[in-house]
Amino acid sequence: MVTVAATMLSLSIAWGANETIESTHDGKFVSLTGNKLQMTSYKGKEHTHLLAFEAKVTCDGNECNAADLKPGMKIRVTTLNGDMRVATRIEALDKNQMFANTHDGKFVSLMGTKLEMTDARGKEHSRTLARDAAMTVDGMACKPEHLKAGMKIRVTTEKNDASVATRIDAIHLETEF
Domain that holds residue 167: 102-171
Q: For all residues of the chain together, what is the average pLDDT?
A: 78
CATH number at residue 148: 2.40.50.140
Average pLDDT over residues 34-47: 88
Beta strand pairing call for 62-63 and 46-59 = antiparallel
| 164 in the same domain as 116 | yes
The pLDDT assigned to 19 comes to 44
* Of the residues 63, 93, 123, the one at which a domain ends: 93
- Structure confidence at residue 177 as a pLDDT band (50, 70, 90): very low
| 65 in the same domain as 22 | yes
Q: Are 61 and 116 in contact (CB under 8 A)?
A: no
d(CA 158, CA 14): 15
d(CA 12, CA 149): 20
| 61 in the same domain as 30 | yes
Say what the pTM is.
0.53
| 50 in the same domain as 114 | no
The answer to whether residue 176 is domain-embedded is no
